[in-house]
Amino acid sequence: MYPSNDPKLRSFIPVDPDSHFPIQNLPFGVFRPKAGGPPRIGTAIGDLVLDLALLEKKRFFKNFFLLPDLLIFSRPNLSNFMALSRPVWIDIRSQISRLLSGADPTLRDDSRLRGQAFYKQSEVDMLLPVEVLDYTDFYSSKEHATNVGAMFRGRENALMPNWLHLPVAYHGRTSSIVVSGTEIRRPCGQTKKDDAPDPTFGPSRMLDFELEMGFFIAKENPLGWPVPVNEAQYHIFGMVLVNDWSARDIQRWEYQPLGPFLGKNFATSISPWVVTLEALDPFRTSGPVQDPSPLPYLQNSGDRSYDIQLEVWLQGQSMPEPHRISRTNYKYLYWDMFQQVAHHTINGCNLRLGDLIASGTISGADPSSYGSLLELAWQGTKPIQLPNGETRVALLDGDRLTLTGWCQGDGYRVGFGEVTGTIVPAG
C-alpha cells in the first residue's frame, strides 16, 4: 500500500504550503465542468481537480471492482463509491496518491492525458457531494450549550440535567441542505417581542450562522442493532464543513415545547469536498475530559477527536474584503463523533448510507472562539465591531459568510476548503 499519509510526500502538481489540498488530503467531491458535460467525481490537488471518472474509464484503478464495467466515478454523487468497503476507499486513495506523486509516472509523463484529466477549480462548478437521506444535528459543544443556557436560564442553570450524560440532538430536514455558494434567502415566519400581546409575521430580523462540522455515514446498521462506540469509525466515510443557518427570533417563539422547526429548516450549507477519515488520521487528538464519566455504551478510549482549526469570516456589502470574526477548533467538542453514532443507534435506530450527522455549534472558552453571532454579540448586548465601522448583532442582507477549516501538518495543510453563503432579501 502506497504511504499516502507520509508528511514528506509531494505531488508533481505544484501545491502551495497553505493550500488545503496537498497530496496528503485527496478529498472526494462531485463537479461539472463549466464548459459542459455531465457531473462526475473528482479529487482536489492544489488548485486543480483531477477527473477520477476519466481515469476510471481508462482502467487506471486496478483491482477496484468485482465488476470491471461498473463505473462508480461517472456518477452525480458519491453514494455508490461510499457503499464500497473501507479497504476499497483506502486502496483507491493510495492509487491516486501513487499517480500524483509520480511513483507511477503514467499520468505525470503523458501531457495529453494530463490535459484531459485536470481542470482548474475555477473552471468547474462543485455540486452537492452526497444524496443526503437523513440529517441529524447534535448539540455537542459544552461551551456553546453553557453560553446559550446562561442567556436564557441564568448561569446557575445553564446546562440542562441531561447534557453531561448524553449527546443531545434533533432531526433536521434534508431537502434544504445546499452546497457552498448557494444564496440564502432570508426566511419569514412568526415572531413575538417580549412586550407584544401577539405574534407578527415577517422576515427574520435575527438571522445567524452556526459553525459546525458534519460527517457522512457509509456503512449501515440493521434496524434494532446499535453501533458500538469503538466500531463507529468504520461507519463513517468522511467530514465536511457545515453552516446550519438559524433564525433566532423565529426559533425563540416556536421552539416551545418541541424544538427547532422553521427557525432551522430553511437552509443548511455544506462544503463540497469530503475529507476522508484516513486523511485526518494523523491529526487525531484527545478530546475534553468527560466528567462525570459517561455510561459504558458511550465510553471511548484513545484519541477521540481531531485537531481541526476553524474560522469564520464575514464580508458586508460595503466591505472591500472579509473580516475574521471567530477562530476555534473542532477538538473542543465535548461529545465526539463516535459517541454521537453510538448514542444515535443505541435504541436500535438504523443509520443509512448518505446520512449527514452534524456536530452542533462549535465554540471555545474564549469569546473570540464562539461559533455563532448569538454568542459573539451576546444576544445583541455586545455588537461585534467590523473594520469599516459597522457593527453586527445579526446578519444583514448582502452579508457573505465563509467558514473554513484545516489540520496543520509540518509544511502542509489538510483542509476542507470553505463553505460560503450570501444573504439575499426575503421573497
Same domain, 121 and 146: no
Mean pLDDT of 353-381: 98
What are 423's three cell numbers? 444573504
DSSP assignments along 2-64, one per residue: --TT-TT---SS---TT-S--TTT--EEEEEETTS---EEEEEETTEEEEHHHHHHTT-STT-
Q: From CA 42, how far away is CA 125, in angstroms rounded?
A: 12
Task: Give 371-423 pLDDT, tens digit per residue.
Answer: 999 999 999 999 999 999 999 999 999 999 999 999 999 999 999 999 999 99
In this prediction, residue 67 carries a pLDDT of 47
Other CB atoms within 10 A of residue 341 CB? 28
Contact 216, 240 (CB under 8 A): yes
- According to the model, what pLDDT value does residue 416 have? 98
Residue 11 lies in a domain: no
Query: Is residue 99 located within the same domain as residue 142?
Result: no
Instruction: Among 126, 153, 188, identify where a domain stops.
Output: 126
Same domain, 117 and 239: no
Do 186 and 259 fall into the same domain? yes
Domain of 169 in residue numbering reads as 135-424
| Of 174, 250, 241, 164, nearest in space to 207 by CA | 250
The predicted structure's pLDDT at residue 68 = 53
Tell me, yes or no, whether 237 and 375 share the same domain: yes
**Least confident segment among 39-48, 59-68, 209-218, 232-241:** 59-68
Mean pLDDT on 107-128 = 97
Kindly report the average pLDDT of the chain as a whole number: 95
**Which percentage of the chain shows pLDDT scores above 90?**
91
pLDDT at 85: 85
Of 126, 152, 178, which one is at a domain's C-terminal end? Answer: 126
* Ramachandran assignment for 199, one of left (phi > 0), alpha (psi -120 to 50 degrees), beta (any other): beta
Among 247, 256, 392, 250, which residue's Cα sits nearest to residue 312?
A: 392
Verify that 57 and 194 share a domain, yes or no.
Answer: no
Are 255 and 369 within one domain? Answer: yes
The last residue of a domain, from among 126, 144, 173: 126
Q: Is 361 within 8 Å of 210 (Cβ atoms)? A: yes
Contact 221, 380 (CB under 8 A): no
The answer to whether residue 7 sits within a structural domain is no
Burial bucket for residue 242 (CB in 10 Å: 0-12, 13-18, 19+): buried
- The CATH code of the domain that includes 67 is 2.30.30.230
Catalytic residue among 144, 235, 343, 344: 144
If asked whether residues 207 and 174 sit together in one domain, one would say yes
Which of 203, 155, 179, 135 is closest to 340 using CA atoms? 135
Are 77 and 202 part of one and the same domain?
no
Closest CA to 239 of 278, 267, 265: 278
CATH of the domain at 152: 3.90.850.10
CA distance 118 to 31: 12
Residue 296 phi, psi dihedral angles, 5° rounding: -50, -40
Output the pLDDT for position 16: 97
| pLDDT digits 0-9 by tens, 6-32 | 889 999 999 999 999 999 999 999 999
Burial 249-266 (b: 16+ CB within 10 A, else e): bbbebbeeeeebebbbbb
Integer Cα distance of 403 and 356 in angstroms: 18
Read off the C-alpha cell for 87: 479497504
Decide if pLDDT at 66 tops 60. no
Total structural domains in the chain?
A: 2
For residues 111 and 254, membership in a common domain is answered with no
Q: Is 69 in the same domain as 212?
A: no
pTM exceeding 0.95: yes
Give the mean pLDDT of 66-86: 84
Query: 209 and 76 in one domain?
Result: no
4 inside domain? no
Q: What is the rounded average pLDDT of the residues 183-203?
A: 96
Is 171 one of the catalytic residues?
Answer: no
